[in-house]
Structure 1
């Protein structure tokens, strides 16, 4: 049961939450004062409406005062629900009865209220005498009194003014007042329950406020977030109703003039074209979005659009939410609807540009950003998004210029400072990048993306002590790692684990899991029974890591028995890893079974040439794929050397498949690489692996197999800078781009070294006939 706990105006204001309570699955009983009961009985979601002070025998399970609902729903200024309107339109028969009483509509109709309840403790401040409105009466308008409880001082003046229609003796309840309001073009009132009624109906209403207004009207604004059809007129100083009435009179004259000329009215009813059901569905969508019930929110926005295909706010809301959910094609459909309704919106083109960018439709995204900036160049967010697009396309200098423009507009825009720092990292202007990260954190301390990105730079430059700590912010990223929800405690190295069962679980990619599995033996050395939970393709491979009692697939069953858990990626922090203390850099994954290796030897045939495994691209869905992968034809110069090349490449792309089909000098048995154990066995037959930065290089390094890793100009943090070896894998050698995108130089360097290695192999005792 929702029960009125304050005055009539408060009840009308807060009853907007009743449909939202009903949307949570409750049967809603509404208990209000008799004067508003018939009006509110038709509110959507209200199963039963009773008079206040209802009988104690009323059956209900829970109750809540209406005035507590804004707190219950976590209402902020930007989440006030149903500001358009929420009360159902009065019955047509009642409206017609009032039209008949008012007579022919020959002039603009304005309802008037000049005083509230004389018993109110603020009545002396918020009410005025009717005579104070006399300047308005000179306007060519049909004035209609909505004033109940007319005071003696006003009754005489009202009797002298035949230009004010007074039928208030027939206003028996708020249902009748609502019907009369539906016949008017505008309501002008002091702060009484009438303004709430007009706003809740979506009727245009001008509210005249004292110098010190009630809390709900806020300060320094002429609109109300509670009612979209409302305009506020404020006293410039205490008691100055004259200035208020003068301002109202000037605006009313403009409105009447516009009405006479047939021009667009200054203010129109908020819900004339949008049905109450559509408005309610849109509002419920916003509520459910706020409560993170995303799929339900989408359904409500879609229903609002189905009820009213011209509903701009619902189209925008649905488009934004679908974008946040990564459903870009559907988001674009909604945003395209919004563009048809409002083609001059800079915010719309900014949002659509971001959606097109995520859908990899870069040329269209660029065009939309340019449209947005042309419409409104003052939006820092648009310049930021445009900068992100430039960065995505490798135009790093242009990206920095966009970020700088955004910062000119908003110097404290922490997200832009973070993005600029990342761009500076990509240019390897590391001192400038550090400065930008620190400035961003000064503006927004503890910001997770900035903390994580700064940690990446710290790790890249060898500052492991601070880097590992900051890297834990990855759990708080907007699109962060999923919490597993284990009931067992997280082990942070803060308690003994001797005799305990410890679950170490992979939380990132395959390469990360292989890299950090080296810590499993160290955890076991502390006396724990270690269970390792990893992705299925690497489970068999890592089951043989020393100290691992059991290796299981991710995600494990909820019934798994263990005492403590820890993500693999947190272990370098827990063990205090520094550059000079990285464990097991020689190898830690056991050699594959001899029978598996022999099976691959048989497939490959005689070992009469130097054998080289090749990998040229990684996961196409990786956010850095465009930077770290290359096309297979880029490796063509290597194929001129007298070596047997073997493809280790999984997921061959269409652009590479044709080239691979034309090169019989590359042995392709990748279809038989069913998991990483098979890949390990194949690597055991090779003399060298040459690969871009993928999980294969971690596999080769963990096996101790020779591996040459080809890196982009701005490498992943784990490969550090300005060195050709890796402290993580002793058998690895690094080949770096000298400038962005320059794979040709990398392949040339690899080719020169490969030629020397092949020549040396030919002269060694490994060569056939030696």
Structure 2
């Protein structure tokens, strides 16, 4: 080393490396380090040679010794971070990027790369902060905005995701995948026409992009433009015959017109993609919607793979064999209406000798206490039970078919004191009392059902004609957006008389007591429909065309689940006018006939 400078050593090693002699090049540097073990340039050169020789561990060792001497070497830290990232040692990579950003908080590449690591770790909020800082420091707008869109989407910040994807397109409008992500997010938000417009732009870039073709079909399907949607699903399949998603979506088109073909396409999707949870779930609901409960309930068990359910220490209940004396922990899932519908099975478990621990959502606790059976109400039991069972698995456990549905006229009751309370509230309502619900509940954490919530709801203005009849109309509606409609309509026409007692409906036992004071409930397909049916109250359900499986796809007008329920289903998707016209006619007849009976 005394006779040679570090530059000469590095140059000589480089010449060796260029001839393909990696071992010789490394030896030259190592020999130099024998004489000067703390020479940073030689240590870094050794690390670079190891890195170029695909010896990541050798590179890390050399860079590590260099950083022990000077921890502020950004380039060395960067190399170390990249190696750790390639080795999927993300925690070590983060340490390196943290060190870089301590030295220079405006290092764009470090910000972007650290954000990418956070994204891989599903720490999307932290990734967003890094992408934001990288943008402020002047980073590449396209990639950073695109990454922000992905993070926002995973955080279920869908409006923000749309904004990010649009910003990315401003920087580079020639990447089809951005259009795909944007359109899928717009579809989730129910902005289908806008989604179609952006998909068209993406298809101009790549007309045979099978996922864009499929996404276009989805947006059209949700606009009820079925023939056009089918055309795009067929185009997607023609482009890629193995695209399982297109077969699944094509099947969704056919559930109500040709269920046997729908089943064929669902099975095709599952054969192509055996762990395709959405297709499995859709196939199950298709079986249930045609009354094939034998295959339907068993297939419906697939939902345990997709729903965010907690872990259980004891096995899942599969049948009623040998349950005498066993403790069965029954827990809720999905919506409140599901609990109200399927709690009817609790007495059946008890009758067979089981001890039932029932977990009940807070708003249902009072009404569930009126089940005419003894059970123990629990909150996430620590242990001590023999089996657990989601409440919607009880029909499967009991091997229910359409002829064995337990359908007592009434299996829940309102509390007498609360009935009396609302009776006093309604003393001046002496005509036939009709309760109405026009909007379903919103589940902010379940974007897949947002479109369902929208399609099953109806604007309050559609009820105005029935307010002109000789009846008293009482609102059973909860929810801020729906009640805004009520305030607006009343402000526009002071003659409209709809009694709103929503501020007194604290839980379902209150709603039940109010319902018991009514003659009829007219409601969209929401939890109140199940409550009213479980109370045995005369109930008319306003039902969307793409009906829930429990009301059957053949659009029947009665339900084997609730003897007191009558169903009015859309003849055309999205068209409530015909439904409400039929309701008005039937309501007039209903009032006339019941007045005759009362006399």
Partner of residue 588 from structure 1, selected from 411, 414, 423: 411
Partner of residue 649 from structure 1, selected from 465, 473, 477: 477
Q: Please list, as runs of the form range in 1=range in 2, the aligned pairs for 1:409-424 lying within 5 A after superposition.
A: 409-424=239-254
Partner of residue 502 from structure 2, selected from 651, 670, 674: 670
> In the alignment, which residue of structure 1 is the partner of 2:571?
738
Partner of residue 262 from structure 2, selected from 433, 437, 441: 433
2:201 aligned with 1:371: yes
Stretches of structure 2 that go unaligned for 5 or more consecutive residues are 34-39, 60-81, 86-105, 444-448
> In the alignment, which residue of structure 2 is the partner of 1:729?
562
Moved beyond 6 Å, runs of 4+: 98-102, 109-112, 168-171, 225-228
How far apart are the structure 1 equivalents of 2:373 and 2:299?
28
Q: Please list, as runs of the form range in 1=range in 2, the aligned pairs for 1:489-528 lying within 5 A after superposition.
A: 489-493=315-319, 496-528=322-354
Judge which range, 500-509 or 650-659, deviates more. Answer: 650-659
How far apart are the structure 1 equivalents of 2:191 and 2:574?
21
1:339-375 Cα distance to aligned partner (Å, 9 max, x none):
3543321112222232333344445433322221111
> In the alignment, which residue of structure 2 is the partner of 1:316?
146
Partner of residue 115 from structure 1, selected from 20, 33, 40: 20
Q: 1:325 offset after TM fit, Å?
A: 2.7
How far apart are the structure 2 equivalents of 1:320 and 1:596?
50
How far apart are the structure 1 equivalents of 2:475 and 2:267?
44
Report if the CA contact (8 A) 1:421-1:432 is conserved. Answer: yes
* Secondary structure of the structure 1 residue equivalent to 2:356: strand
How far apart are the structure 2 equivalents of 1:608 and 1:333?
53
2:431 aligned with 1:609: yes
How far apart are the structure 2 equivalents of 1:628 and 1:546?
32
Report if the CA contact (8 A) 1:274-1:308 is conserved. Answer: no
Distance 1:655 1:383, change over 3 A: farther
* Secondary structure of the structure 2 residue equivalent to 1:532: strand
> In the alignment, which residue of structure 2 is the partner of 1:461?
290
* Secondary structure of the structure 1 residue equivalent to 2:315: coil
Q: Please list, as runs of the form range in 1=range in 2, the aligned pairs for 1:26-175 lying within 5 A after superposition.
A: 113-116=18-21, 148=25, 172=32
> In the alignment, which residue of structure 2 is the partner of 1:353?
183
> In the alignment, which residue of structure 2 is the partner of 1:158?
none
- Normalised by the length of structure 2, the TM-score is 0.79
Report if the CA contact (8 A) 1:585-1:727 is conserved. Answer: no
Q: 1:602 offset after TM fit, Å?
A: 1.3
1:521-541 Cα distance to aligned partner (Å, 9 max, x none):
011112122122122111100
Q: 1:425 offset after TM fit, Å?
A: 2.4
Report if the CA contact (8 A) 1:316-1:335 is conserved. Answer: yes
Judge which range, 692-701 or 499-508, deviates more. Answer: 499-508
> In the alignment, which residue of structure 1 is the partner of 2:595?
762
Distance 1:110 1:601, change over 3 A: farther
> In the alignment, which residue of structure 1 is the partner of 2:457?
629
- Normalised by the length of structure 1, the TM-score is 0.63
Identify the structure with the greater helix proportion. Answer: 2
* Secondary structure of the structure 1 residue equivalent to 2:582: helix
Q: 1:732 offset after TM fit, Å?
A: 0.8
* Secondary structure of the structure 2 residue equivalent to 1:387: helix
> In the alignment, which residue of structure 1 is the partner of 2:66?
none
> In the alignment, which residue of structure 2 is the partner of 1:214?
none
How far apart are the structure 2 equivalents of 1:306 and 1:180?
36
Report if the CA contact (8 A) 1:420-1:433 is conserved. Answer: yes
> In the alignment, which residue of structure 1 is the partner of 2:304?
475
2:451 aligned with 1:639: no
1:630-656 Cα distance to aligned partner (Å, 9 max, x none):
111112222232111111111225344
Tell me how many residue pairs correspond in the alignment: 536
* Secondary structure of the structure 1 residue equivalent to 2:353: coil
Distance 1:512 1:171, change over 3 A: same
Q: 1:412 offset after TM fit, Å?
A: 0.8
> In the alignment, which residue of structure 2 is the partner of 1:64?
none
Distance 1:373 1:611, change over 3 A: same
Q: 1:294 offset after TM fit, Å?
A: 5.1
Q: 1:274 offset after TM fit, Å?
A: 7.4
Identify the structure with the greater strand proportion. Answer: 1
How far apart are the structure 2 equivalents of 1:680 and 1:565?
29
2:531 aligned with 1:699: yes
2:395 aligned with 1:572: yes
Q: 1:517 offset after TM fit, Å?
A: 0.2
> In the alignment, which residue of structure 2 is the partner of 1:535?
361
Q: Please list, as runs of the form range in 1=range in 2, the aligned pairs for 1:364-403 lying within 5 A after superposition.
A: 364-403=194-233
Distance 1:593 1:312, change over 3 A: closer
For the pair shown, the structure with the greater C-alpha radius of gyration is 1
How far apart are the structure 1 equivalents of 2:121 and 2:136?
18
Distance 1:172 1:279, change over 3 A: farther
Judge which range, 301-310 or 364-373, deviates more. Answer: 301-310
Q: 1:308 offset after TM fit, Å?
A: 6.3
> In the alignment, which residue of structure 2 is the partner of 1:57?
none
Distance 1:310 1:294, change over 3 A: closer
- RMSD of aligned residue pairs (Cα, Å): 3.7
Q: 1:455 offset after TM fit, Å?
A: 0.9
How far apart are the structure 2 equivalents of 1:657 and 1:559?
46
> In the alignment, which residue of structure 2 is the partner of 1:549?
375
* Secondary structure of the structure 2 residue equivalent to 1:726: coil
Q: Which structure exhibits the higher relative contact order, with contacts defined as CA atoms closer than 8 Å and separated by 6 or more residues? A: 2
2:564 aligned with 1:659: no
Judge which range, 738-747 or 568-577, deviates more. Answer: 738-747
Stretches of structure 1 that go unaligned for 5 or more consecutive residues are 1-92, 103-108, 119-146, 151-167, 202-224, 229-272
Distance 1:615 1:280, change over 3 A: closer
Partner of residue 753 from structure 1, selected from 580, 586, 594: 586
